[in-house]
Chains A and B, each alone.
Chain A
Amino acid sequence: MRWMPRFVFALLATALPAVALAQQPRKSEEDFAKEKPAVGDPLPDLTVYSPDGKEVKTSSLRGHYTVLTFGCLT
């Protein structure tokens, strides 16, 4: 399981253990909340891709509540 991407653990967990909570960079959350775009601002309209290379406009995500989580292989 060493190779499992780190964030996967976070995605799978329904509740993080206390130790992980203690490591959560609270300061970072405060800074992040102050940065633009803020809550209430529109999601920037940009082009991203599906894994098979098709262009997707972020504006096409409208019409539903959408959860976006950044991640990668490492």
Chain B
Amino acid sequence: MYRDYGPKGVKFFFIYKTLAHPELAGNYVQPFTLEERLAQARQAEKQLGATIPWLVDDMDNRLKHALGDRPNSELIIDPEGRIVRKRAWSFPAEVRKDLEKLVGPVERITNESDVVLKLQPPVKTPAARGVVPRVPRPAMQAIVMEPQIDPKGPPFYAKLRAEADAGLLMTGKGKLYLGFHLDPFHQAHWNNLTPPLRFKLEVPEEVKLDKMSGEAPKVQETSDADPREFLLAVESWPEDKPIRLTVTYSACVEDKSCHAVQQSYVLRRQRDRDGGGARGEGAGYWDAEGLARQIGTAGAEGKLSKDKVMGLVRPHFEKLDTNKDGFLDAEELKALAEWLNHHHQPGTPAPGPKQ
């Protein structure tokens, strides 16, 4: 389409945004700095091999937020700068139809078989993976975590991925996943000759967890690139009480220099709408159907009865069941999804009848 409509004056851009599915397709992780995101965009250019230019969203994800927060949306802008078409999911065949109407048909349509793309493989990890068993974390969503970046400090060779299950997000009680993933763009591996990665939490007294610190398992191999992962049970985490996390680890880079690193984060009990869905789960955007799958087993007509929702949601069932018919139906799930997607800020009450 680029070949067909480029000569007719149509401009095409890919917008490089936050990762939709971190850890997939190359073990990529969310970047912390603009430089890191730019490096990802340059890699995307190479990996895709296409000649369509990329533009890169800023680290506040302003363009993604301004245009609807979808992972793969598509818009056509007219010469006056107005939106003339928008689609939540890219659909090239429809874009072609749109351009035929807006600009006119082309004499000869370029087919997929006419295009030879010089695809390149993803960035390689510099050490073995599959050494340390992964921690299973079904049905969790990224939460807001703010790396405390010291411009003079070392890069975040390992980057925290923090996730909460639906119970923790909604009620403050549930599972908290903390995963420290090496960023392949820094080409670092763990130095297993030194003490393993350790983390420590500083929490306000209202926050109750099963552990306040953790140490990764000792690994026999001298190096590897597997994530260091922890699953914590949270008894109580009020929405307005951030948690401070400090991690120490030793990472070595390709030139064999090893670095002992201490880095900090602030974690919030708040869904990160830019976090993406790790390992192929939904791209961090809930809809009623997806939510039904995440919090229970839907029966006929996609409704959830109280005995079919996960235990952590059960105590809140009556509040969520606004029409009191004993089921969470599509409307009620939609209200919950809306709240999780757009209104989940500290202090915002969950859906339900007004008190």
Chain A contact residues, CB within 8 Å of chain B:
2-8, 10-16, 24-25, 27-29, 31-33, 35, 37-44, 46-53, 56, 58-59, 61-74
Contacts and interface: CB of A to CB of B under 8 A. Distances in A.
A3 B13 contact: no
A51 B112 CA distance: 26
Contact of B99 (A25, A43, A65): A65
A5 B44 contact: yes
A71 B15 contact: yes
Given A10-B90, A49-B56, A56-B55, A70 B73 contact: yes
B161 interface: no
A13 B265 CA distance: 42
A42 B89 CA distance: 20
18 contacts: A4-B47, A5-B47, A14-B92, A14-B109, A38-B86, A39-B84, A42-B82, A51-B42, A53-B34, A67-B10, A68-B76, A70-B17, A70-B64, A70-B90, A72-B20, A73-B43, A74-B21, A74-B28
Contacts of A59: 81
Contacts, number: 230
Interface in B261-276: 276
Nearest to B278: A74
B130 to A, nearest CB: 15
B72 A7 contact: yes
Interface residues of B, number: 86
B45 interface: yes
Interface in B89-127: 89-93, 95-96, 99, 102-103, 109, 111-112, 115, 117, 119, 121-122
Interface of B: 1, 5, 9-26, 28, 34-35, 38, 40-45, 47-48, 50, 53-58, 62-64, 66-68, 70-93, 95-96, 99, 102-103, 109, 111-112, 115, 117, 119, 121-122, 276, 287-289
B25 A3 contact: yes
A71 B40 CA distance: 11
A15 B26 CA distance: 27
A67 B55 contact: no
Given A71-B16, A73-B26, 11 more contacts: A27-B288, A28-B70, A28-B88, A29-B88, A43-B75, A47-B62, A53-B34, A65-B9, A67-B74, A72-B19, A74-B28
A32 B25 contact: no
B77 A32 contact: no
A73 to B, nearest CB: 5
Contacts of A32: 68, 70, 73, 86-88
A58 B67 CA distance: 12
Contacts of B26: 3, 73-74
B106 to A, nearest CB: 13
Given A14-B92, A43-B75, A65-B102, A73 B25 contact: yes
